[in-house]
Structure 1
């Protein structure tokens, strides 16, 4: 059995210690007469429920290949998603009338499925970059965040201030940190954008550490015909493939225009095959998540406590009614 905690282990241990201290303090406030066997059992049950929730947050996992998984964790890829959230991405020039951002969100979800054990970071940009999701293996929590990615609100100069290379510096420092922290892991960069055809300034360069990028792709969204940018006076904003190809050359990955039809398999490079130590045991098919077991037991204990509280409340009301009569 291994653990994949949703919070740092030291933080979980601190939470457990705080729970124990608080529960012991609550018990000590009771008088000796009040410490009946029933009260002690209820105290123990509620305390155990709280500790079981902490155990659930530790995410116990039953994995027959625990040793291989331990090795794979240090070598699992780091995936950097650089997402264009400029007004250009709100243009609805997809084949079915959908927006560019809708297509990009679908590709982000597919990338998360493609690399289920990877550590993932999300960098968004328009005129400047923002780290929406720091590098983390918690892709389960990332999915709902990625599913609502949307273009930033339109400001007066949002269209012309957009820069296709705005994420360059942030990506550079994220890669430097990843190489230092996970020296045996591959770094994959996926850039999803429209190229900022209406930008007033030329795109900034991607000056990334040499040899830091091991794969990925630049994915372009939009059509040559383009379409109006909602909330602006721009009536036609085409995809800027020349800029996107330049970004791909600087990052060192291939470029592909996404038509909005089909999956990414046809545009992404084939995955390596064989017994690469970075992939042995990294699949999730053989793993059994056990976090639900302590969570379910905690729920039962809480329901029992709720039953006793409601029963006492009902008895108190009946007693007060009898006294009143």
Structure 2
């Protein structure tokens, strides 16, 4: 594995976590996003994330200082990728946005650079022809709260080079992940193939006004001893991501249309996008599901 310089494209819900985790484990990381204002928000999130690493991983100040020294910030894509051995794409889960990004990336990235998409529901084969290097393109998907939910799914397509695939497995381990190789393309990889139907079933109960999010979460948490229910998970994922996934399935699943309308009216338009904005189905930083009496 020859990855030393890594570019993370997109500093949203997962992008900034991937960048910080990678820098924490000693890699030089260039953080790319569309403008300096968005990058400024990422820097603020890194400061918050460092406190999580202290609390959950017992990270030392020296480790965190080194992490910040490994991070650089760029709003010019060509500058961000000029030395990249690996680009991890974490732009929004929208086909048009990803297509535009790869059309730009292939023109400025060095020939050596491996491209990995963090897509949660799309297939790498949908974008491989856009990359200009299909043999060096595959999916590398992470779970939210990457520093504690430390799993990474590695999924190629039928023309991904086996050595590149194996290198990504080793890279995932090198940044502290439990590596989960996937040998056949599967929409949703492993995790979301199980998680998305679960979350959609919970959303369907809410859209049809069968019950409220708190009761649905309590039903799940109490029955299975889970620390979080589906609506808490949706807040962590980000409601904009949920909306984009619903939009992807709307053509084949008419149940998505009332869900999209309700999400747009009650969450997207007012900017209540979940944990990242301080309000979603719950209010943060002290959501009701963390209260000692939530299950009483």
- Decide: shared fold, TM above 0.5: no
- Looking at both structures, which has the greater relative contact order when contacts are Cα pairs under 8 Å and sequence separation is at least 6? 1
Higher helix share: 2
Name the larger-Rg structure.
1
TM range (shorter): under 0.3
> Given the two structures, how large is their TM-score scaled by the length of structure 2?
0.26
> Given the two structures, how large is their TM-score scaled by the length of structure 1?
0.24
